[in-house]
Amino acid sequence: MSLNWKELELILSELPLEGSYIQKTTEHTISSFTFSMFSRTEKAWLLYVEVSTPYSRVCRTGIMRKKDRNAQRFQQYLNAHVVGRKVGKVWQYPFDRAFSMELVSGEDTIKMHIRLYSGPGANIIITDSDDNILELLYRRPGRNEERGRKLVIEERKDEGNRTFSVRSYDGPSFNEFIDKTSSIESSDERKAELVEKIKEKRDKELAALNDKLSRQLKRKDETKGFEETKRVADLLAGSIWSVRKGMRSVELDDWERGERISVSLDPALSPNENLEKLYQRYRKDKRASELAEEEAENIRKEIEATEEKYRLLLETGSAEKLRRESEKPKDVRKDDDKKPGVWVSVRGFDIIVGRNAKENDEILRHYTRGSDLWLHTRDYAGGYVIIKAQKGKSVPLPVLLDAASLAIHYSKAKKNGKADLYYTEVKYLRRAKDGKTGLVLPTQERNLSVSLDEKRVREILG
């Protein structure tokens, strides 16, 4: 609950403001500050100010709250132009939750106007002695409250239709009562708000992970018939003598099941080519199914870890820890500053380059799709290069050559000035079982021999 004008009047009457020096200012949030004060009679004391919240107040405090890591523009101005000044005259706007202080340094006098409102009028405004605005916490062009403008102070003639009074309190001073009760109330309310934000963030992360899991399970389900494909291929291999080129199908005896089956054939292919086509389909579906299961298992583990992380956070996390977590990006991996590797755009295509095994693994796990193109140097250690696929477009040769140059540039083949590379779609990569981080085995790869164009690489990398 914020102060009414009579409570502010009592607060100000208890404060030893006039004659005190401002030794230091500390920003806690965008709307709250502590002024470290010193007076000859009171010695060191602290003044807390909070505006534009349901708990807007000014009061003496015995607590130095946590400092914000990043000082905003207004805090920097306070440090440069307010710290070191002596408080002169202090006066309250009539019937209002606002007051002003003269801040004196030698012959120079400025004013600090503090409005303890919870609406758009809330502000802390620094003016010169003629009320020209020098700096302010919130810039409000609609109210003509900007640097260089004249501050218009509208004074009330009465308290309006409502009658205000000071709430009952215990303790030696109203300042102490307000500091204690408002801190507890605002802390509890803010923590409750943070808990809701954390729950919302958790639910979004889990929904995204479950969506990824369902896609992998669907992919596995679509390729689960690979064993049946192999069984049919084996049956065809046992009767390949009965197949002729030009046939569209062949009837085979399935001795295991005691029935005859019909196998579709491509009339343009030879019998052995039709047989190899079936085995290729088997191998492809088997690889896809295994990769989908591996990725699904990784996602399950990530879901468990995410659930446990948020469970511990909600059960034991302090308000400050909840605040830090709530302010983190929803998906850190998609924060440009956190993306692994080198990201460039070439002729309208996005290219990602991994520079080490960890980046290679992170890129493959979280930043690729099956249709993206993967490149790597043959016989030389180096980074993976990914060309992001575009729907309905094939990768032009110039883009492929630029990506190949990047692959050589970020490999041990760089000193040779040329290298052989292979490339394939990401869906044809398989992680090496018990292999090193990021190690994959490509299939259906194509070969490319390229000379390194260092000038072009420099252009791409800027």
DSSP string, 219-242: HHHHTTTHHHHHHHHHHHHHTGGG
Q: Which residues contact 257 (CB under 8 A, 6 or more apart)?
A: none
**pLDDT-based confidence at residue 335 (cuts at 50, 70, 90):** very low
Is 390 within the bounds of a domain? yes
Please indicate, yes or no, whether residues 16 and 118 belong to a single structural domain of this protein.
Answer: yes
Give the mean pLDDT of the chain: 88
Nearest to 256 by CA among 230, 220, 286, 290: 230
Total number of domains constituting the chain? 3
How many whole angstroms separate alpha carbon 112 and alpha carbon 90? Answer: 10
Tell me the two tokens of residue 183: 């801190």
Range of the domain at 37: 5-167
Q: Hey, what are 140's tokens?
A: 């409000």
Question: Is residue 23 domain-shared with residue 158, that is, in the same domain?
Answer: yes
Domain contains 173? no
Interval 26-42 mean pLDDT: 93
The domain boundary residue, chosen from 295, 328, 361: 328
DSSP 68: P
Which of the residue ranges 12-16, 276-280, 339-343, 372-376 would you say has the lowest mean pLDDT? Answer: 339-343
Q: Is residue 451 part of a domain?
A: yes
204 token code pair? 């979004």
Q: Are residues 149 and 233 in the same domain?
A: no
Interatomic CA distance for residues 149 and 209, integer angstroms: 52
Q: Would you state the structure tokens that stand for residue 344, as one six-digit string? A: 């460039």
Looking at the structure, do residues 360 and 402 belong to the same domain, yes or no? yes
Per-residue DSSP letters for 358-419? Answer: HHHHHHHHHS--TTSEEEEESSS-B--EEE--BTTBPPPHHHHHHHHHHHHHTBTTGGGTEE
Phi and psi at residue 26, to the nearest 5°: -130, 120
Would residue 15 count as lying in a domain? yes
φ/ψ (deg, to 5) at 163: -110, 125
d(C-alpha 197, C-alpha 271), whole Å: 63
- Phi–psi pair at 386, nearest 5 degrees: -115, 125
- For residue 96, the model assigns a pLDDT of 94
With respect to residue 172, please indicate whether it lies within any of the assigned structural domains: no
DSSP state of 132: B
Same domain membership, residue 308 and residue 263: yes
Domain co-membership, 297 together with 348: no
Q: What is the reported pLDDT for 434?
A: 73
Candidates 166, 136, 160; CA nearest to 150 is: 136
Lowest pLDDT segment from 100-114, 178-192, 205-219:
178-192
Could you report the per-residue pLDDT of 243-298, keeping only the tens digit for each?
999 999 999 988 888 899 999 999 999 999 999 999 998 998 888 888 888 888 88
The percentage of residues in the chain with a pLDDT greater than 90, rounded to a whole number, is 49
Predicted pLDDT of residue 71: 78
Letter for the amino acid at 341?
Answer: G
Does residue 378 belong to any structural domain of this protein? yes
- Long-range own/partner contacts, residues 130-134 (CB < 8 A, 24 or more apart): 134/81, 134/110
- Segments of 40-107 assigned E as strands: 43-50, 57-61, 86-92, 98-105
- Per-residue pLDDT, averaged over 33-57, amounts to 92
What is the C-alpha separation between 9 and 122, in angstroms, rounded? 18
Could you say which of 285, 304, 328 is where a domain stops? 328
How confident is the model over 214-242, as pLDDT tens digits? 988 888 888 888 999 999 999 999 999 99
What beta strand segments (E) does 258-338 contain?
259-264
Please tell me whether residues 313 and 436 are part of one structural domain.
no
Q: What is the CATH number of the domain that holds 95?
A: 2.30.310.10
- Looking at the domain assignment, is residue 183 inside a domain? no
Specify the amino acid at residue 10: L
What end-to-end distance do the CA atoms of the chain give, in Å?
55
- Assess whether pLDDT exceeds 70 at residue 93: yes
State the CB neighbour count (10 A cutoff) for residue 273.
12
Report which of 409, 77, 179, 427 is spatially closest to residue 284, judged by C-alpha positions: 427
Question: Which one-letter amino acid corresponds to residue 250?
Answer: V
Within 8 A by CB and 6+ apart from 192, the residues are none
Structure tokens at 237: 């291999």
What are the tens digits of pLDDT across the range 295-323? Answer: 888 888 889 988 998 888 888 877 667 77
Same-domain status, 54 and 41 = yes
Q: Which of 152, 167, 182 is the last residue of a domain?
A: 167
**What pLDDT sits at residue 328?**
65
Looking at residue 333, what is its pLDDT? 40
Pair (148, 250) in one structural domain: no
Is residue 116 domain-resident?
yes
207 and 161 inside one domain: no
Question: What is the distance between the alpha carbons of residues 161 and 171, in angstroms, rounded to a whole number?
Answer: 31
Let me know whether 13 and 161 are in one domain: yes
- Report which residue type is found at 88: G
Residues 272, 289, single domain; the answer is yes
